Amino acid sequence: MIEVRSLGATADGTDVQEVTLSGGPVTVRLLSLGAAIGGVDALDHSGRPGPMHLALDSLAAYEDRARNPHFGASIGRYANRIAGSTFPLDGREVHVDPNEGPNQLHGGPDGFDRRVWDLLDADGDDGGGTVVFRIVSPDGDQGFPGRVSATATYELSGDTLTITYGATSDAPTVINLTNHGYWNLDGAPTVDDHHLALAASLVLPVDGAGIPTGGLEPVVGTPFDLRARTALGPALAAHPPGFDHCFAVDGPPGSLRPAAVLDAPASGRWMTVRTDQPGVQLYTGNGLHPPFRVHGSVSLETQRFPDTPNRADLGSAVLRPGERYRAVTELRFGTGTAPSAAQPAD
C-alpha cells in the first residue's frame, strides 16, 4: 500500500512530499527532502507496532541543520570524508568545498541530503511498493566536476526494504552514495542494550578527524572485533567516545552479501543488512544532541571507503561518461532470534 501527501514547503518555497509504504509488518515513511527515510515502524515481540528509526516532528526541524544530522538521508556526491577537500583526477587536482575543518564530509556544505529530490515514481502493491527519487547535480556542484543525474529507489516487499542508488555523469567525477539511517530498535534513550554483529574481518583506522591513517587492518584482538554478536554498551565503554569507522565487508564487492545484524532484546526487533558495497561505516550517534541523546542510534552506512579518491589502495570511486554507478543495500526487519551476520536471513 502507498500514500503520498505534501508536508508543506521549504523556506525557499519548494514542496516536500512524504510517501508512506506499508507492507504487512513494516511501514516506511520517505521524504523527498534528502530522499530520506523519515521513519520505519515494525512489530515488536508482543505484536505491537513501534518506531525503529529516529525521526523529527516537522519539516522545519528537518530543514534545520543544527537539529538534523542527515537523519535517514541519501548522502552524496561523496559519502564520508575527502581529506583536504582535494583529490587527483585524470592528471589534475580537484578542489571541493570543505565543511568539516579542511576536509569535506558527506558531499559538502550543501550535499544531496540537504536538497529536495524530484519524486519520479510511486507505485504501491499489497507487499509495499516502490518509490523513485531523482536529483540532478550541475557541473561544479560543491566543487565536483561533471553534471550528475542520480536516483534513489526504495522498494518495500513485506519485511524487506531494498535501497538502490544509481548515477550517471557527463564528465569524469567521483561518486559514493549511501543511506544514513539512524536506527534505534526499542525506543530507549540509548542503544546500550542493543547487540551488533558485523561480517567484517578488517577495519580502516582513522585519525581524530576521521581520515584514514593507513590501510585496512585485522579486527582480531581489538575493540573493533564485532564479528560475534556484541552488546553495544560494553563495546562503547571500551571505545569512547564511540565508533565512527568503516569496516570492510567480508566477501567480494559487487555481490549482495551479509554485512551486519542489529538487534534489541527489549523489543525483540532485529534488522539485517546486506550490500554489494565494499564497506560499512559504523556510527554510534556520538554527536547526537537534544531531543536525542549521545549513542541514541546506530548507523550502518554501506559505501565505498572514506577518502578513496586519494587512496588508490582502497579501490576507485571514479565514474566516467557512459558508465553507470549502482549501489544496493537490503534491510530486513523481524522479531525473535536474530539471524547470524555470517549468513543471509532465510
Annotated active-site residue 180? The verdict is yes
Of residues 190, 203, 207, 209, the one with CA closest to residue 293: 190
Angle at 25 between CA 164 and CA 261, to 5 degrees: 55
106 is catalytic: no
Q: What is the pLDDT of residue 23?
A: 82
8 A C-beta contact, residue 98 and residue 79: no
Report residue 106 as a C-alpha cell.
558527506
Alpha carbon distances (Å) from 76 to 33, 39, 105, 278: 13, 20, 9, 17
Q: Measure the CA–CA gap between 157 and 39, rounded to whole angstroms.
A: 16
SS percent in the chain: helix, strand, coil, step 5: 10, 45, 45
73 φψ region: left (φ > 0), alpha (ψ -120 to 50), beta (else): beta
SS (H, E, C) 255-281: CCEEEEEEEECCCCEEEEEEECCCEEE
Q: Which of 272, 225, 229, 280 is nearest to 251 (CA)?
A: 280
Amino acid at 254: G
Which CATH architecture fits 2-335? Distorted Sandwich (2.70)
Residue 343: the pLDDT is 46
Choosing from 18, 155, 301, 330, the catalytic residue is 301
Exposed/middle/buried for 239, CB within 10 Å: 0-12, 13-18, 19+?
middle
Which 8-state DSSP code applies to residue 61? H
Whole-structure pTM value: 0.96
> Residue ranges of the domains in the chain?
2-335
pLDDT in tens, the chain (346 residues): 899 999 999 999 999 999 999 988 999 999 999 999 999 999 999 999 999 999 999 999 999 999 999 999 999 999 999 999 999 999 999 999 999 999 999 999 999 999 999 999 999 998 899 999 999 999 999 999 999 999 999 999 999 999 999 999 999 999 999 999 999 999 999 999 999 999 999 999 999 999 999 999 999 999 999 999 999 999 999 999 999 999 999 999 999 999 999 999 999 999 999 999 999 999 999 999 999 999 999 999 999 999 999 999 999 999 999 999 999 999 999 999 888 876 444 3
CB atoms within 10 A of CB 203: 23
Residue 182's pLDDT is: 98
How far apart are alpha carbons 233 and 52 in whole angstroms?
A: 18
Name the one residue in this structure whose C-alpha cell is 538521508. 73
Among 70, 180, 194, 195, the one annotated catalytic: 180
